[in-house]
Structure 1
């Protein structure tokens, strides 16, 4: 993932001399050494000084440059004040690559990158997103450099199937997409690599799901959220970071925005806790956020619905059944 992001930034830098790259002593881990060798006068390793790195990027942006800050999620916490005051409050176009987002396994418990969605959502006028695959990652990097406010692109530790896109495309800020596996009987809203993992398991299990790629945490796709809940289907939000302040909180805030009753939905996510050291597989199982946990819930929910008396599916208060016609923000599996 780090290499995919770094390569996209390097490609854009070849065409835009304003693009600079800064990192607080993470050049090797974030795969920035090739950029540093190619553009030595545009690369700044600031050492273990996250606060200085972010403020320096803000200064560069104020001077007309387009900085990219590559920083691990767990270390971005140290620079919250600088992000808020020296970048976001100034409405400066700094792009942040939030590396090692999510559970990091063997890196250790202090490196778990599971809090950034929650603490970044408190900052006004920022964009927070996560790609589901390498293709979307490249497009989100391209889109972030078109934006005039701070953008945060988070991506996990590890690998994914990669193919360089010949032409990068803009993804409209705040838009989600969805994919139907069979005839949807339930809805799963998730993000990042989990989108395709859920789709594949649904195919294998023969489970009818609408899988939503909630690629933006701020802003969220308010029109699609309301459309999804209007379908009257059971909804599960599957998040692999802390749920308090995360995607499920963003959805709940959206639904309550106009004072309407918030329909019920199920949340599978990490608890409000510090997560210990361990392999990602073991931790996901221990904390109840594995694919198996998700599909066990889906099967139990499906069995509960099947035991109900015949008749229309009950709809939670404040939710109205959809006509079945896709609304203007509906996805169809396309990336943009």
Structure 2
């Protein structure tokens, strides 16, 4: 196999065109086999195999720099740069990342993970190159879906000022995560189907150039009128009008054509955009047929494309989807918004039933939030379903366009908390903190599937900005029978220590033959420790339940409170706990410490109940690497066993 002999760009540069084609087949087979075992981003990576090989063959990597937009199409890049053997641990704890990482390889010049950033980053690198007087090629690869993000246009606007070579490759696969929408998609479709301008320009220049003296003069004169010709033959000529030289479209699976156009682009002394047309999922029929379904995959059967881990249990996303459809049938003012993630957020089903009340704005979270604000101001009830880490991209719009005006926008925040294999750029661990910082914002988190349904109903009646955060994965079913009506800012007691003790006493009284009764034992313990309450938010309620059960076996009875609201916190509940003799409170949340729910509880208790000790269990104020969620929870010590171990070391359960 050729692939076994590739450990860097110097090996790729030695290959003939025929060998490169063989290498492309081997790389595709390798990616499909590895993704079928471990999961990962499949369709996007299969689409750029030839493009990546062409870049490695024509560029002087790693001296030259490639910035991959989002970065979920970098597998071939990693394979060719000497990390093929590391793919057994791709996206696993302590293994290589599924995205470019600067500390992983000199071939990765910039960390990416979110969309529409590559041109800005690459432009900065190119400008740094020029200021320092260095000489290397800088190239940004951006997908057509990423061009729906406004940041890309801000970068294009500045790229036009470049006086030295700077290359942008537009990887046009007609599909971002969901099918592209809007004017940019229509524009690119027009360019794909119109080769008239390119052919006309080549033939005209060639023919006139053969006419002695007069011919060359005419070619120069025609350069002054080229914009008129372009406007006539190519729709819009958006990129040329912005000051960039446009090359393409080029077949993104034709290695010879790709290498020719890259060499041509390198000769241009300013910013140039190379339009490359590729097919997402190329070489694997199930992914070609349904690239959206094969964007991010778990382990699957290669022959059929079907998942190896089919689950009949519903996820929080499923529950949200079903609940929103039910609400949508009863209230025609409800509208749904997604930023290119209808399948991932569960809005695809809503779209099928209510197409006129569904808006896919593309990869444009900032626009989505302000658009939702506009819909709310017009009298509708917008629900923006979005992953936690992607909502970060619209913080200013949350502050100024929604919350300042107190507009009733519902934010359905999926993938809140740890999400696992996608790593630092995708962990949803900051939303509690950044949402709590905004005036007029209400933040909720359900303890289980049923409560998510109830919270969505509550949110749709609420007259103000409100967010519901819920985790990725199977919806928790515990405490389904315990469901007090949701009231604004009110928590609920799930397990009360005194009632738990009474139940324990009933059993012990029938069995105990010792002189001391269970009641005396419990009273003695209470005198030593005071009562202890666990305040758990959202996904941490199940962890709290496990802590209560495990400590009960050790003879320590605890109370468990479902916080429900991260903002506002239930201060009346905190006052009642103090009145009832609780002297220790343990807060549990799957978010960073700074600005979180636990800090809010701690601040209130320090101001009003100084005699009560508060311990916060949170994620550290740090970026969390990739790995499966259960492994990360243990590593971060927010699983029940780790929490108990840490608190017992501190004497939390026995000393007061």
Q: Do the structures match in fold with TM over 0.5?
A: yes
Q: Is residue 106 of structure 1 aligned with residue 421 of structure 2?
A: yes
Give the Cα separation in 1 of the matches to 2:546 and 2:400: 43
CA displacement at 1:75 relative to structure 2: 0.7
Q: Is residue 119 of structure 1 aligned with residue 469 of structure 2?
A: no
Secondary structure of 1:106's match?
A: coil
Tell me what 1:141 maps to: 456
Tell me what 2:595 maps to: 245
Q: Which residue of 518, 526, 536 maps to 1:190?
A: 536
CA deviation profile, 1:78-99 (whole Å, cap 9, x unmatched): 1011111111111110000011
> Which deviates more, 154-163 or 210-219?
154-163
CA displacement at 1:170 relative to structure 2: 5.5
Give the Cα separation in 1 of the matches to 2:598 and 2:622: 17
Task: Give the TM-score normalised by structure 2.
Answer: 0.44
Tell me what 1:264 maps to: 613
Secondary structure of 2:535's match?
A: strand
Q: Is residue 218 of structure 1 aligned with residue 567 of structure 2?
A: yes
Tell me what 2:496 maps to: 180
CA displacement at 1:201 relative to structure 2: 4.4
> Which deviates more, 51-60 or 175-184?
175-184
CA deviation profile, 1:241-273 (whole Å, cap 9, x unmatched): 101111111112333556x74743112211111
CA displacement at 1:279 relative to structure 2: 1.4
Tell me what 1:285 maps to: 634
Is contact 1:132–1:192 with CA below 8 Å preserved after alignment? Answer: yes
Specify whether residues 257 and 60 from structure 1 end up closer, same or farther in structure 2 by C-alpha distance, changes over 3 A only: farther
Tell me what 2:375 maps to: 60
Give the Cα separation in 1 of the matches to 2:485 and 2:547: 29
Tell me what 1:202 maps to: 548
CA deviation profile, 1:66-122 (whole Å, cap 9, x unmatched): 000001100111101111111111111000001100010013221010001101111
Tell me what 1:320 maps to: none
CA displacement at 1:12 relative to structure 2: 0.7
Q: Is residue 37 of structure 1 aligned with residue 352 of structure 2?
A: yes
What's the Cα RMSD here? 2.2
Give the Cα separation in 2 of the matches to 1:86 and 1:57: 9
Give the Cα separation in 2 of the matches to 1:144 and 1:250: 22
Give the Cα separation in 1 of the matches to 2:331 and 2:485: 16
CA displacement at 1:160 relative to structure 2: 1.6
Stretches of structure 2 lacking an aligned partner (at least 5 in a row): 1-315, 502-525
Specify whether residues 262 and 57 from structure 1 end up closer, same or farther in structure 2 by C-alpha distance, changes over 3 A only: farther
Q: Is residue 21 of structure 1 aligned with residue 21 of structure 2?
A: no
Is contact 1:189–1:211 with CA below 8 Å preserved after alignment? Answer: yes
Give the Cα separation in 2 of the matches to 1:273 and 1:293: 19
Specify whether residues 303 and 27 from structure 1 end up closer, same or farther in structure 2 by C-alpha distance, changes over 3 A only: closer
Specify whether residues 281 and 218 from structure 1 end up closer, same or farther in structure 2 by C-alpha distance, changes over 3 A only: same
Specify whether residues 161 and 293 from structure 1 end up closer, same or farther in structure 2 by C-alpha distance, changes over 3 A only: closer
Specify whether residues 104 and 151 from structure 1 end up closer, same or farther in structure 2 by C-alpha distance, changes over 3 A only: same
Tell me what 2:623 maps to: 274
Tell me what 2:605 maps to: 255
Name the structure where helix makes up a greater proportion of residues: 2
Tell me what 2:403 maps to: 88
CA deviation profile, 1:154-192 (whole Å, cap 9, x unmatched): 0001112569x9xx9951110001122633842211111
Tell me what 2:195 maps to: none
Give the Cα separation in 2 of the matches to 1:270 and 1:54: 27
Give the Cα separation in 1 of the matches to 2:613 and 2:484: 36
Is contact 1:238–1:269 with CA below 8 Å preserved after alignment? Answer: yes
Bigger RCO of structures 1 and 2 (CA < 8 A, at least 6 apart): 1
Is contact 1:88–1:123 with CA below 8 Å preserved after alignment? Answer: yes
Is contact 2:567–2:597 with CA below 8 Å preserved after alignment? Answer: no
Q: Which residue of 441, 466, 469 maps to 1:154?
A: 469
Specify whether residues 97 and 52 from structure 1 end up closer, same or farther in structure 2 by C-alpha distance, changes over 3 A only: same
Give the Cα separation in 2 of the matches to 1:238 and 1:197: 8
Stretches of structure 1 lacking an aligned partner (at least 5 in a row): 306-313, 315-336
Give the Cα separation in 2 of the matches to 1:169 and 1:225: 18
